[in-house]
Structures are given as C-alpha cells and as structure tokens.
Structure 1
Amino acid sequence: MKPSLKLLAALYPFGAGAMGVNLFFASLIGSWLGWRVLTPWEAAAGGLVIGLPATYAFACHIVRLMKQAEDP
C-alpha cells in the first residue's frame, strides 16, 4: 500500500534533515580518503534530494506497521 501525501509531507522534513546530516558526516569520513568536505549548505541541499526516496521508503514501512497493527 502506498503512503498518503499527508504522511509523506509530515515525515519529509525529518527525512531530509537526517539525510543532510548523514551526508555531511559521510563527507567528513571521506576526507580521510582525501576527498573534500561538503559545506553545510551543500549537505543540506543534498539532503533535500536524497531525503525524497528515504522518506518514501520510511513512510512505506510505517504504513506496513499500521496495517499490521490493525490486523488481528
């Protein structure tokens, strides 16, 4: 079952924020390999993009849990 737009809209700020933070810290770890560190603005912009599929996947998981809780 697909999640509703209302659920996606409610979860998206959290998903985008989490992905932005994860992207920033991943770039810090990547600096050990000689890669450049992303600025916080670049990480936030990347989080907005990467947050879309992550939020959709998490919302699908929430819908499955809600359905499981409703079934006896």
Structure 2
Amino acid sequence: MTEDQKPDGRWPVWALALVSYPFMAGAVATNVFFASLIGESAGWPVTIPPIPSILIGMVLGVPAAWITGRWFRAKIDEAEGHSENGT
C-alpha cells in the first residue's frame, strides 16, 4: 500500500478531482462560450468561438475540478460522519 492510499478506503481529494475533471472542463467551456454570446447580445464586440472556449475550459477546469473534489470529500465525510481530524 502506498502512503497516499487511505487504509479505510476513502478517496483522497486529488482522486475525486481527477474523476470530476472532464465534467468540470466541459462545464467551464460551456459557460465561457455562452457568456461570450450573452456579451455579444449586450453589445460587446467579440464572441469566443467554440474551440478557444474548449481550450479555456481545459485550463480553468483544473481549479474547478480541485474545488469540486474538495466539496465532494467534505460532503462524503459529512454523510459518513467523519470529523475534520479524520475520526
């Protein structure tokens, strides 16, 4: 067993973030694209095309996935009755 594996079978934050990354990258890319469309309807000159939106989503999906992983870990701990100190 490596030192980053939990003996009680709990998923670490990095693993939860890794699993959620494709969903978070897609959500960010979609939000960036639609925000640019809203900006265009508000009179702003530039609409971000889909490919740059996907690239932005891939980059900004990393912190979004990490935040989501931390949130998942907290919710799982809450549901299982774990406290902050791991008991």
**TM-score, normalising length: structure 2:** 0.74
Structure 1 unaligned residues grouped into runs of 5+: none
Q: Deviations over 1:1-53 (max 9, x none)?
A: x60x3222210000000000000000001112323001100000000111111
Which of 65, 68, 72 is 1:55 aligned to?
65
Aligned residues: 70
Q: Aligned partners of 1:61, 1:6: CA distance in 2, in Å?
A: 13
Contact 2:17 2:68 in 1 (8 A): no
Quick check: which one's helix share is greater?
Answer: 1
Q: Which residue in the other structure is 1:11 paired with? A: 20
Structure 2 unaligned residues grouped into runs of 5+: 1-11, 83-87
Relative contact order (alpha carbons < 8 A, sep ≥ 6): 1 or 2 greater?
A: 1
Q: Aligned partners of 1:33, 1:60: CA distance in 2, in Å?
A: 38
Runs of 4+ displaced beyond 3 Å: none
**TM-score, normalising length: structure 1:** 0.87
